[in-house]
């Protein structure tokens, strides 16, 4: 058994190692797949933020050049500018235009008359920002967030091979980085004469008077140079560069185009920080050598809160990834971090520095947990079931092998015991025959005594051989049963008659109790043999005890006949109560070893009773001894 346990442990280890390796690799693949899912949807989230920024840029770029005044002069009269109301977005403080001379105008209020109380504070803030902007517009550059350096080529190749997405797409080829949102270069745009008037006039002037008194000749100083004169010089590509002189003073006056319209040069949007929490996003309008700067003031903290509320906070990915939005150059403004900001660490899954004019804004997403994959749950369940099956199989194999080994050992012990049990009566028979032959029995009484011993030993030998043959027939299922109806009285009488001499010789008292039993079918010889086996067992193990009693009782209970054999012997060890009916089993104690036996007596009892449709069990008494209970069916189908 030691070798068997060793082999089974070795087998378990050899099977578990490759299984654990496969499970480890599979779990790793599922984790990588989950991480790639988080990475993919993190990129989509950043794409959504960038798309909103692009929409904002396109909206501002598409505004008419004359919308930054409160009242617009038109052919049929005057109209309010679309921007002449408070912005709907909480992150936009307001719109204003910085004129070539540095003066200020906003569509929220006219230059003439008092400012309404509801917007007075807002207009005052815009005026203060215009003053700050006048100091910075030629030299200030909006700092850009530092983009993450490109990974090493080898690292990129390794990531693409090992990642889930890398098996299908080459990210290095598909991912294109944009440098600018909206238009990339300055564009020339034609405007009407009325738009040129609205752009050039001050809010303190009357729109009606301007529309009536100014003629096309008056618009020449504001007209853009035509293509024949060359494009106006621009500092769009470098917002920190001091603008050329010809942009600061009127010059290069030209006539309107053939269509009666005028040309202006519109530069891409730029951003200039005006304080630690606000920045001015504007475009330059060049006309007639004059530069107008039009745009809006962005409140950075509400803007970051808006991006989080729209694109992150309500999204399921917020449970798995932490988003951080940071603005470069704003030292007094803390980076905005998502709901998982309190969690430290996390692997970076996506990052981006947004294109101009939002080049100051950068985003970083880190995985704080991985979504649970249904495949992981299925794999865990399969591994658990497989583990249970393996353990159950190994335990079953071990117990089966142990049962076979135990049975083999009991068979070996049985052969040895049978040999001993056969040899003992044969030796006695041979010895008494020789004594009779040699005339040692000098008297007739002595001869009769010897003949009695020979008869007893012959019966003992015959019984032993008969038990072995019966066991063999029962195992081969060739034993035939002769069922006849009766009430057990014949069986009890035969048992008392057969066992009378042995009981008297050993000093045992036999008590038989039988109530009124119904007539039922049973094999008389089998039941007699069963009861004799049980009584001989009791006599053999209890002959050394002072109290020697055997009781047999038979009762009818609920359609069954209960037959019990109780003694006052040493009883059966508790651990052996369920094993005493096994083939060739003998209790492993000193009494069993000194008493002898073959281990087939109780096994025969169980096989006989089971063959007749009954049951058998053993139990120790409250006092000395044990009780064997035989239960037989009183009615047979």
pLDDT value of residue 451: 85
Task: Report pLDDT for 217.
Answer: 45
- Can you give the pLDDT at residue 45? 94
Residues 150 and 215 in one domain: yes
Highest mean pLDDT among 66-80, 89-103, 543-557: 89-103
Are 277 and 388 within one domain? no
Please state whether beta strands 509-514 and 549-557 pair in parallel, antiparallel, or not at all (unpaired): parallel
- Specify the pLDDT at position 597: 62
Rounded Cα distance between 259 and 242, Å, is: 34
Among the three residues 328, 345, 367, which one is the final residue of a domain in this structure?
367
Within 13 Å, how many C-alpha atoms sit on residue 172's CB side?
Answer: 13
Please choose, from the candidates 106, 57, 104, 61, the residue with its C-alpha nearest in 3D space to the C-alpha of residue 81. Answer: 106
Quick check: is 19 in a domain?
A: no
Shared domain for 307 and 292, answered yes or no, is no
Residue at a domain's end among 311, 337, 367: 367
CATH of the domain at 402: 1.10.287.130
Q: Is residue 61 part of a domain?
A: no
**Residues 288 and 197 both lie in one domain:** yes
pLDDT on residue 168 = 62
Q: CB atoms < 10 A from the CB of 490, how many?
A: 14
Whether residues 133 and 49 share a domain: the answer is no
CATH number at 491 reads 3.30.565.10
Of the candidates 368, 347, 373, 370, the residue with the CA atom closest to the CA atom of residue 159:
347
Which pLDDT does position 202 carry in this prediction? 64
Token pair listed for 83 = 């921007």
Model pLDDT for residues 461-470, shown as the tens digit of each residue: 777 777 777 7
The answer to whether residues 87 and 216 belong to one domain is yes
Does the pLDDT value for residue 402 go beyond 70? yes
- Alpha-carbon 302 to chain mean position: 38
Residue 16 lies in a domain: no
Same domain, 159 and 90: yes
Q: Is 217 exposed, middle or buried (0-12, 13-18, 19+ CB in 10 A)?
A: exposed
- 């014949």: which residue's tokens? 490
Percent of the chain with pLDDT over 70: 77
- Do the beta carbons of residue 591 and residue 573 sit within 8 Å? no
Domain boundary among 252, 277, 299: 299
pLDDT at residue 69 tops 90:
no
Q: What's the pLDDT band for 60 if we cut at 50, 70, 90?
A: very high
Place of tokens 């050329």: 244
The beta-strand segments (E) located in 205-314 are 262-266, 270-273, 278-287, 290-299
Does one domain contain both 548 and 443? no
Q: What is the band of 62 on the pLDDT scale with cuts at 50, 70, 90?
A: very high
pLDDT at 501: 84
The pLDDT value given to residue 145:
60
Residue 406: which domain range? 374-460
Structure confidence by residue, pLDDT tens digits, 97-120? 999 988 999 998 887 667 888 889
Look at residue 372 in the predicted model and tell me its pLDDT: 81
Question: Across 66-80, 198-212, 594-608, which has the greatest mean pLDDT?
Answer: 66-80
> Within a domain: residue 60?
no
Q: What is the mean pLDDT of the chain?
A: 78
Spatial neighbors of 160 by CB under 8 A, at least 6 apart, are 166, 170, 171, 172
Q: Write out pLDDT tens, residues 548-557.
A: 899 999 998 8
Give the three-state DSSP class for 235: coil
Read out DSSP for 131-182?
HHHHHHTTT---PPPPPPPPPPHHHHHHHHHHSSGGGT--HHHH----SBSS
pLDDT at 358: 93
For 115-151, how does the pLDDT look when each residue is reduced to its tens digit (9 = 90+)? 888 889 999 999 999 999 988 776 555 555 655 444 4
Q: Whose CA is closest to 534, among 499, 509, 487, 560?
A: 499
Give the count of domains, the chain.
4
One domain for residues 149 and 45: no
Per-residue b/e over 512-538, b at no fewer than 16 CB within 10 Å? eeeeebeebbbbeebbbbbbbbbbbbb
331 lies in the same domain as 229: no
Is position 572 within any domain? yes
pLDDT at res. 139 = 57
Residue-level pLDDT at 57: 95
Tell me whether residue 11 is in a domain. Answer: no
The candidate with the shortest Cα–Cα distance to 535, out of 603, 441, 601, 597, is 601
Tell me: the pLDDT tens digits for 334-392?
667 776 654 456 788 899 999 999 998 999 999 888 888 788 888 888 888 988 888 88
Q: What is the mean predicted confidence (pLDDT) over 560-571?
A: 89
Is the same domain home to 129 and 216? yes
Decide if 156 is inside a domain: yes
The more confidently predicted of residues 284 and 248 is: 284
Do 316 and 357 belong to one domain? Answer: yes
Does a structural domain hold residue 6? no
pLDDT tens, residue by residue, 518-557: 888 888 888 988 898 888 888 888 888 888 899 999 998 8
For residues 545 and 570, the answer to whether their CB atoms sit within 8 Å is yes
Question: Quick one: pLDDT at residue 181?
Answer: 87
Give residue 234's pLDDT. Answer: 34
Got the DSSP string for 446-512?
Answer: HHHHHHHHHHHHHHHHHHHHHHHHHHHHHHHT------EEE-SHHHHHHHHHHHHHHHHHHT-EEEE
């Amino acid at each position: 058994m030691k070798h068997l346990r060793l082999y089974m442990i070795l087998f378990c280890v050899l099977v578990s190692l490759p299984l654990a390796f496969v499970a480890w690799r599979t779990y790793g693949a599922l984790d990588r797949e989950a991480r790639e899912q988080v990475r993919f949807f993190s990129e989509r989230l950043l794409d959504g933020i960038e798309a909103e920024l692009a929409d904002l840029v396109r909206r501002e770029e598409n505004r008419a050049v004359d919308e930054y005044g409160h009242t617009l002069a038109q052919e049929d009269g005057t109209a309010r500018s679309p921007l002449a109301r408070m912005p709907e977005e909480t992150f936009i403080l307001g719109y204003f235009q910085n004129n070539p001379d540095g003066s200020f105008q906003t569509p929220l209020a006219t230059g003439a008359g008092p400012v309404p109380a509801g917007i007075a504070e807002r207009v005052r803030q815009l005026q203060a920002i215009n003053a700050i902007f006048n100091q910075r517009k030629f030299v200030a550059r909006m700092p850009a967030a530092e983009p993450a350096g490109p990974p090493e080529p080898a690292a990129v190749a390794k990531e693409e091979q090992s990642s889930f997405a890398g098996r299908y797409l080459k990210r290095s080829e598909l991912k294109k980085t944009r440098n600018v949102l909206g238009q990339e270069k300055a564009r020339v745009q034609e405007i009407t004469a009325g738009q040129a008037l609205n752009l050039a006039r001050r809010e303190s002037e009357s729109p009606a008077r301007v529309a009536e008194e100014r003629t096309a000749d008056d618009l020449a100083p504001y007209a853009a140079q035509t293509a024949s004169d060359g494009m106006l010089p621009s500092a769009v590509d470098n917002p920190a560069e001091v603008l050329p002189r010809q942009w600061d003073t009127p010059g290069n006056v030209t006539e309107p185009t053939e269509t009666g319209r005028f040309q202006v040069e519109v530069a891409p949007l730029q951003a200039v920080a005006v304080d630690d929490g606000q920045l001015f996003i504007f475009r330059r309008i060049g006309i007639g050598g004059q530069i107008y700067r039009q745009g809006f003031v962005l409140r950075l903290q509400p803007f970051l809160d808006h991006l989080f509320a729209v694109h992150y906070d309500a999204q399921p990915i917020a449970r798995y990834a932490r988003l951080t939005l940071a603005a470069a150059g704003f030292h007094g403004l803390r980076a905005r971090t998502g709901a998982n900001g309190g969690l430290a660490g996390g692997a970076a899954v996506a990052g981006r520095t947004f294109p101009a004019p939002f080049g100051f804004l950068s985003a970083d997403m880190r995985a704080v947990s991985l979504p649970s994959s249904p495949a992981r749950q299925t794999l865990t369940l399969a591994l658990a079931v497989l583990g249970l099956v393996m353990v159950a199989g190994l335990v079953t194999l071990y117990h089966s092998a142990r049962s076979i080994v135990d049975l083999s050992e009991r068979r070996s012990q049985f052969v040895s015991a049978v040999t001993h049990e056969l040899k003992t009566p044969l030796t006695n028979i041979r010895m008494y025959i020789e004594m009779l032959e040699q005339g040692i029995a000098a008297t007739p009484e002595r001869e009769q005594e010897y003949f009695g011993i020979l008869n007893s030993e012959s019966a003992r030998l015959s019984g032993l051989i008969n038990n072995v043959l019966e066991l063999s027939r029962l195992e081969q299922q060739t034993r035939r049963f002769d069922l006849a109806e009766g009430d057990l009285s014949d069986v009890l009488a035969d048992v008392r008659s057969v066992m009378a001499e042995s009981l008297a010789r050993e000093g045992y008292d036999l008590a038989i109790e039988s109530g009124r039993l119904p007539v039922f079918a049973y094999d008389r010889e089998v039941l007699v043999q069963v009861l004799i086996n049980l009584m001989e067992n009791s006599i053999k193990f209890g002959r050394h005890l002072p109290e020697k009693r055997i009781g047999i009782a038979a009762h009818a209970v609920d359609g069954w006949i209960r037959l019990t054999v109780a003694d006052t012997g040493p009883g059966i060890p508790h651990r052996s109560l369920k094993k005493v009916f096994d083939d060739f089993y003998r209790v492993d104690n000193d009494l069993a070893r000194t008493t002898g036996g073959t281990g087939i007596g109780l096994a025969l009892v169980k096989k006989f009773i089971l063959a007749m449709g009954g049951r058998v069990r053993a139990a120790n008494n409250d006092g000395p001894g044990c009780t064997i209970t035989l239960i037989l069916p009183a009615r047979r189908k």
